[in-house]
Amino acid sequence: MKKIASTTLLILLFICLDIYSIHGLEENNNSELQVIKTSEEDVTGNGLKEIIELKGVLFSPDSNYYRDIVAVITSSENKVWEIPYMGGYDPSLSFIDLNHDKVNDIFFQSATGGSGGLYQYHLHTLVKNKLSEIPLPEQPFVKGKFLDNFKVEVTISPNMEPNIVDAQTRKDDYIRLGLYSKDGKLLKETSAMIDPIAFFEPIFISKSKGYGLKSYQQVSGAYHADQLGTVEMLWYYDRDKWIILQTKWMPNY
């Protein structure tokens, strides 16, 4: 009986080891970086094209979300640089001279997949074999607050008059939420919801200036789905900083 029991235990042990090995191989295979797209661009300014591979690991076989995204840049002299990115959907690279040094920069974007429709972006330069990241612009001026009579004041620049949004169509929601009385009196000071910049778009400005970036930033009222409008801004990189060329308020109402 003891011999039979020992043999049974050995068989079970081998089965468990086989199962562990199979799962281990699957995990190793799933964690391998796969090439999403390969490009050839001169991003070092040496006049020769580098090979840029955008790679990532799918979260699962039936998902289109990539984790562990990385750009691998290989020069003609077999020098290699890697740029790690956070995970996301539909990752892509663009090669545009945004800092105006006559060499294309590396512009990354991917969707976060959140309800806010946000994207993540990174901008890198690799001139003279030195890899560095250029911070993307941020909008510090946008503010919003509720006023009496179901109105919202949105300020998009200190040098511009505030925009007044008439939100009468949302008054039932605002009364239910306790922001207003039925006669339109604001019951408590409340700020509008200012999202971070959700989207950047490279824009050709002119032959002499080259490219800039256009940003889109959403402003909402009492809750995120209560969209009041979008702040559109045109940015230009000059002397190591982003300057604003144009600001527009695009109301949803």
| Structure confidence at residue 223 (pLDDT) | 92
Q: What is the per-residue pLDDT across 171-201, written as a single tens digit (0 to 9) for each?
A: 999 999 999 999 999 999 999 999 999 899 9
Give me the residue spans of the domains in the chain: 34-133, 143-251
CA dihedral 153, 157, 159, 160 (to 10 degrees): -40
Instruction: Kindly state the average pLDDT of the residues 109-131.
Output: 86
| Structure confidence at residue 113 (pLDDT) | 77
Side-chain half-sphere of 90: how many Cα atoms within 13 Å? 5
Kindly report whether the global pTM for this prediction surpasses the value 0.85.
Answer: no
Closest to 217 measured CA to CA, from 205, 203, 235, 204 = 235
Q: Measured over all CA atoms, what is the biggest interatomic distance in the chain, rounded to whole angstroms? A: 92
Q: Please tell me whether residue 43 adopts helix, strand or coil conformation.
A: coil
DSSP secondary structure letter of residue 218: E
